[in-house]
Amino acid sequence: MKDTFYQYIEQLQDTITSKLEAIDGKAKFKEDLWKRPEGGGGRTRVIENGNVFDKGGVNISAVHGPLPKAMQSYFNVGDVDFFACGLSLVIHPINPFVPTVHANWRYFEMYDKDGTVIDQWFGGGQDLTPYYLFEEDATHFHQVCKTACDKHNSDFYPEYKKKCDEYFWNAHRNEARGVGGLFFDYCKKTDTMSIEDWFAFVSEVGNSFLEAYTPIVEKRKGLLYKQSHKDWQEIRRGRYVEFNLVHDKGTLFGLKTNGRIESILMSLPPNVQWRYDHHPETGSEEEKLLKVLKEPKKWANG
């Protein structure tokens, strides 16, 4: 399964970066191949200073070796080995009317000292972070997510939408990072789902990503904006940074397993503002966004 999934994310990385380059029309992804001393490595691709995209990364990695002590405690296991691979992406657009997007699809195995697999699971998801709320965009994104889920189990979308709302929650701000999407983890073999079934589901979601995001980019990338819109975008980007550095498990896992810092922190936007005690004007579009972020909302139909 680990070979099957790694081949899948290699192909998916190619598909996504090619499409995003075509939309941008100027910038190309810079590729960086790297090795991890303890075992494994990855293929980082970063795009910057484009016509459409300010900064973005679409990274794949496959790392393995002894599970670090900090993670042994987290997983409540002893001295075991691990293998982890996945694709992680974050795209920060220039136009403040185009939302930031994040996605991640991953696979994890643990082994005893004889090399026997003692645990394995999938995880992942995709979520949208707008700076200005176009409700039809949020609906479109969620509808694509729901369609992908429904092909496998009608319970998946409501369950993983709820988990996404709970996970991407900036507790210290008491607000969501964005309008959510899907979040799933520890997807293991059960009486009704084989590990191959989980692969089929995760790859379905991965394959839906471009359909979920790129129509929104195409629709909003040409809208005119002012400096005040950019200022708000950069203030909200600050909340994005706060979540990733304080709460995000993927970031913390990478930092605790001697991950490649440049790849882990590629999720951070290039320009950010933190203004003291900033509040948008009453009745403004900026305030409209904040009200939606205070309480999860139903977006998909059905």
Q: How many angstroms separate the Cα of 282 from the Cα of each of 41, 133, 175, 230, 289?
A: 49, 16, 18, 19, 12
Residue 152 annotated as catalytic: no
Secondary structure element (H or E) that encloses residue 117, with its range: strand 117-129
Task: Give the C-alpha separation, 236 to 106, whole Å.
Answer: 27
Catalytic residue among 64, 92, 102, 140: 102
Residue 214: how many CB atoms within 10 A of its CB? 16
Nearest to 185 by CA among 197, 202, 207, 171: 202
Question: How many whole angstroms from its chain centre is CA 292?
Answer: 20
Task: Give the C-alpha separation, 299 to 179, whole Å.
Answer: 9
Secondary structure element (H or E) that encloses residue 12, with its range: helix 2-24
If you count them, how many residues does the chain have? 302
The identity of residue 110, as a single letter, is: M
Using DSSP's 3-state secondary structure scheme, residue 55 falls into strand
Provide the angle, in degrees to the nearest 10, between the axes of the packed helices 2-24 and 195-220: 10
Task: Give the C-alpha separation, 184 to 171, whole Å.
Answer: 19
Active site residues: 102
